Structure 1
Amino acid sequence: MRNTKRTTGAMAAIAVGALALTACGGGVSDAEPAPDGGASTDYVEATSGQVNLYTWSDYFPEDLVKKFTEDTGITLNVDYFDSNESLEAKLRASDGAGYDVVVPSDYMVQILKNDGLLLEFDATSLPNGGNIKPEFLDVYFDEGRKYSTPYLYGTTSFAYDTAVIDEDLTSWNDYFNPPASAGGVGTMNDQVEVVNSALRATGGDFCTTDGAQLQAAQDLLVDFKPSVGTINSDGIFERLANGEQAMAMIWNGAAHRAMLERDTITFVYPEEGIALWQDNFTIPSGAENVDQAKTFLNWMLDPENMAVAVNYQAYASGVAGTDELMSEELASSEAIVIPEGYDLALPVAPCTNDELTNYTKIFETFKG
Structure 2
Amino acid sequence: MSKPFDVIIVGAGIIGATCFKIFGDMGKRCLLIDEKPLGCGITGASGCIVRVAHSHAAATAAAAQGYHFYRQLADTAQVPFARTGYLHFAEPAALARMHDWLTEHDVPAELVGPEQLAAHYPGFAISAEQALFEPGSGYMQARPTLEYLVGAGIANGGVYRDAVRVQGLNLDGAGGRVVGVQTTAGEHAATHVVLAMGNATAEFVQTQFGQAFGLWNQHIQVTRFKGEAALLTAPCFIDDEHDLNGRWCPLTQGFYVGHPTGQRVPASHAYAPADPAHVQRTRERGQLRFPWLRHAQMDGALCHSDCYSTQPIAVLGQQPGLPDGVLLASGFSGGGFKMAPYAAMTLAREITQG
TM-score calculated relative to the size of structure 2 = 0.27
Bigger proportion of residues as strand: 2
TM-score calculated relative to the size of structure 1 = 0.26
Higher relative contact order structure (alpha carbons within 8 Å, sequence separation ≥ 6): 1
